[in-house]
A and B are shown apart, each in its own frame.
Chain A
Amino acid sequence: MAKNVCIITEYRNGDFRRVTHEVASEGRRIADALGTGLVAVALGSGISAKAPDLGKYGVDKVYVVDDPALEYYLAGVFVPVIAEVLKQLDPAAVLLPASVDGRDLGARLGARMNVTLLQDVIEVVVGDDGKIKAKWPMFSGKCFAWCEWADGVPPLLSIRPNIMQTQLLDESRKAEIEAASAPIPKPRASVLKYELDTSGKVELTEAEIIVSGGRGMKDAANYAMLEDLAGQLGAAVGASRAAVDSGWRPHSDQVGQTGKVVNPNLYIAVGISGAIQHLAGMGYSKYIVAVNKDADAPIFTKADYGIIEDLFTFVPALTEEVKKLKNS
């Protein structure tokens, strides 16, 4: 029997994070190409009840470690437990989310199991010979690289959020559950505080629409205008390095090569000239809108739709139009 493909889930606040469904869907696709099954390793506190739901996204069987000590991710606990379970499963390939925690987890697993992780994968192909190749963006997307693993090395890859299509197979499909046994070590590090933003703000790297402001915003207070527009669109608000360096926005909003690399369906760049380091961070967006009064701004060479206007008059007008659309 061919070896299974395996995914590692990410669970927070009583449910699997959306990126887990994306990883499961991609895992299913790879398993089908290899003619094999898809299993999952799921760690968390109170995770057992939700685990069968992964079946909807193509997982056949979930190996669950459900323990109060697994409420928050700590490498010192998760890495040894997952490595032990993977050793028993001996999968053909392992996929996990390239989330904040997944990136750490994957890199440590790769080192521990001597297989080498490929981080931040945006495309996977399975050859007719069953060989897996994967692509990741280097230089924040200025260049892509294809990679393959040496013979006998099971590919380990973290999947960038918001790239892979989620495939809901069948609402009623349930995955089989098995409790995995692995000793849970005591970590040296401890979580002092775990604060989640409850304002419903959309995370940039997982947002479908981003409204982003740059130097042209002139002042921190003017971002209220972008917040309004973002509110109407259900979008996240981003910023260029110039805006963050000026102290107008928190660093967590920064989009670019130093900052976050984002891939929304729609990126609205407001008062952003389009420095190459910013373009690297958002160039993978499906659609780009640029609003700038400088017709020569480089952002217009990348934008699908350009508006040469003063942003202070255009953005409120745009918000009005979106509001009308939503109310119609």
Chain B
Amino acid sequence: MNIVVIIKQTPDTETVIRLAPDNKRIVTSDIKWIINPYDEFAIEAALRLKEKHGGTVTVISFGAQRVVEALRTALAMGADDAVLIDDPQMRDADFLRVTRALVAAAKEKNPDIIFIGSRTVDYDQGQRGAILAEMLGWPHFALAISMESDGKDITIERPIEGGKVTLKAPLPVLVTFGGSHAVWNPRYASLPGIMKAKKKPLAVKKLTDLGLDPADFSPDKARIRITSLELPPQRKAGKIIDGGLDTSGKARELVKLLREEARVI
């Protein structure tokens, strides 16, 4: 079974976001980069599937050379090979174009199944998986919180608002992973894994290597563009309810404020 996992390197979730002077980008100089947590769940699910049915796990990502570290981590977790699409022409491309490049790279691996996180913790758009599926003409199982496959069909469960849906389809299928660390419990890279990862194949490709025309990726071809970034209004610390009141006095005061000042209860 050829399993492809698409990952993105994102700032750590503990990162404090600061804006660059042009208000169009964030300051990245002091950011700690991690594998997008939801993509880590996808890697874990891929490795479990491989352990059950055999096959290979290929991880594909895009971005600058720093992304090599994320791919090496995935290889150390147990993936077999990795592809990085690193092309300066892609830097300002919109979601559709970046995803087109990922489709081209994935197709080279003749995938039976493709896994990806349900969203990235940076742009939070949560649409890459759906776009990939549409471009491939595959079913897309979004937000999987469980997955089973006999190698021919795949069944997943996904949460919806106030409920849960169980879906089944024959392969190929694209699955995006939701849930949390508690659901997928992604493995850590072991020391022997890290040593082995250094020798595993990691190909770096340009758009032309994937049969794509870099001119299609120029910023003026973007269908959508970010015009500015802004930080949310700073929340100010409010009032500490004390006033020498006892516990039920504080509770009474809080209810009064929520009722009369905030008017939310």
Contact = CB atoms under 8 A, between A and B. Distances in A.
Interface stretch (A28-36, A49-57, A105-113): A105-113
B165 interface: yes
Contacts of B127: 103, 106-107, 110, 117, 119
Given A192-B155, A306-B241, A205 B14 contact: no
A148 B251 contact: no
B211 interface: no
Contacts of B63: none
A72 B167 CA distance: 11
B142 interface: yes
Given A147-B225, A321-B255, A100 B159 contact: yes
A178 to B, nearest CB: 27
Contact of A209 (B160, B181, B264): B264
Contact of B165 (A140, A146, A195): A195
Interface in A276-328: 276-277, 280, 283-284, 286-289, 300-309, 313-314, 317-318, 320-322, 325
Interface in A147-203: 147-150, 153, 187-197, 201, 203
A201 B262 CA distance: 24
A143 B163 contact: no
B199 interface: no
A194 B224 CA distance: 36
Contact of A251 (B17, B169, B179, B252): B179
By CB atoms of chain A within 10 A, which of B130, B141, B232 has the most? B130
Nearest to B224: A116
B66 interface: no
A259 B178 CA distance: 9
B161 A206 contact: yes
Nearest to B158: A100
B214 to A, nearest CB: 19
Contact of B180 (A117, A138, A259): A259
B194 interface: no
Given A99-B161, A139-B122, A308 B224 contact: no
A143 B224 contact: no
Interface in B171-202: 173, 179-183
Nearest to A246: B182
B247 A136 contact: no
A116 B121 contact: no
A146 B227 contact: yes
A253 B198 CA distance: 39
A75 B96 contact: no
Contact of A314 (B158, B231, B247, B259): B247
Contacts of A133: 227
A142 B167 CA distance: 34
Contacts of B166: 191-195
Given A119-B126, A195-B163, 20 more contacts: A75-B139, A100-B142, A100-B158, A106-B127, A107-B130, A108-B133, A111-B135, A117-B95, A117-B125, A143-B19, A144-B232, A189-B168, A190-B167, A191-B167, A196-B163, A203-B162, A251-B182, A254-B182, A258-B181, A287-B262
The 9 A-B pairs of least Cβ separation, nearest first, read: A107-B127, A107-B130, A189-B169, A304-B238, A193-B166, A251-B180, A196-B163, A111-B134, A317-B251
